[in-house]
Structures are given as C-alpha cells and as structure tokens.
Amino acid sequence: MKQRYNRLSAIKDLIKKNRIDNQDTLLNLLKEEGYNVTQATLSRDLKTLKVGKISDGWSGYYYSLPENDLVAESEKSYIQDVRRGVVSIEFSGNVGVIKTRTGHATGVAFALETLCLPEILGTLAGDDTILVLLREGYTREDLLESFKTRIPESDD
C-alpha cells in the first residue's frame, strides 16, 4: 500500500483534474492510481484535506479543495497545536517518544499526521505521550530539522 502522504497528494490531484460527485467515483479513480483504500479511510482523508462539495449551478454538487489561504490557516492551527502541546522529544533508533502536556497527545499526534511530515511513518497517542515511528532512511535529526522548518520555534 502506498503511503498516506502520497495518497493525500493523489486525492488532491484527482479532485483538481476531475469533476467528482461522490466517494465511489473517487475510490475507483484512486484504485486506478494504485491506492486500495476503504470508504472510511477516504472519508478521513477528505476531512483532513478539508474537501467540500460545491454546486455546479445546474445538475448537482462536486468535490472541491479549499482555497490556499484556508489551507494555510488550517496548517497554522495544527502548528499551534504542536507548539502548545510538545514538552520534550526523545529517540531510540527510529522510535521516538514525544511527551506532551496532559490531554494534548491526541491533538498533537493528529496535527503531526495532518502536516504530512515525510519522516513520520505513524503515531500512537496516549494522554500525554506519543509514540512516533520514523520511516526507513530517516533519522531523529531529519525530523527535528523538519520541525524547525515546518514548525518554527518548536522546542526539541
């Protein structure tokens, strides 16, 4: 199965290039691109991408991506979640533990996944701790550099 951030990019491209009016059509287009996902996963992806439906003015509705400034505002919100929540980060090989303020782990993990940092394979959140798995070939230093670039002023 292809990785999540590639799939999200493919969904955006398909919506930009096609008039898609339902999830079944999008699922079939994704399958043609080599992405075999469930309807539930696609629904989460559409929510993550802030995809909405707009009227075409005469025959129905179709999927549309948000305007760039809306995406930027959404990304700023996720960056703030990370900034507010992270207390510390420690690694052992490609496994990291992010300590957060109590109750912030789920929000921070969601923000990290939504920001699609290429170094992160996946996260598992508790109440104040996030387990982070790095992708093959990435290091702690790569992730911290990505934090400095995408989430400036974050502590490491």
Q: Judge if pTM exceeds 0.75.
A: no
4-64 and 69-150 in the same fold: no
Listed by start position, the domains of the chain span: 4-64, 69-150
**Whether 127 contacts 103, CB under 8 Å:** yes
What is the mean pLDDT, run by run of 10 residues, along the chain of 156 residues? 74 90 94 92 87 81 74 74 92 95 93 88 95 93 88 63
| 62 φ/ψ angles, rounded to the nearest 5 degrees | -145, 160
For domain 69-150, is the CATH number 3.30.450.270?
no
Topology given in CATH for the domain delimited by 4-64: Arc Repressor Mutant, subunit A (1.10.10)
The C-alpha atoms of residue 8 and residue 112 are separated, in whole angstroms, by: 14
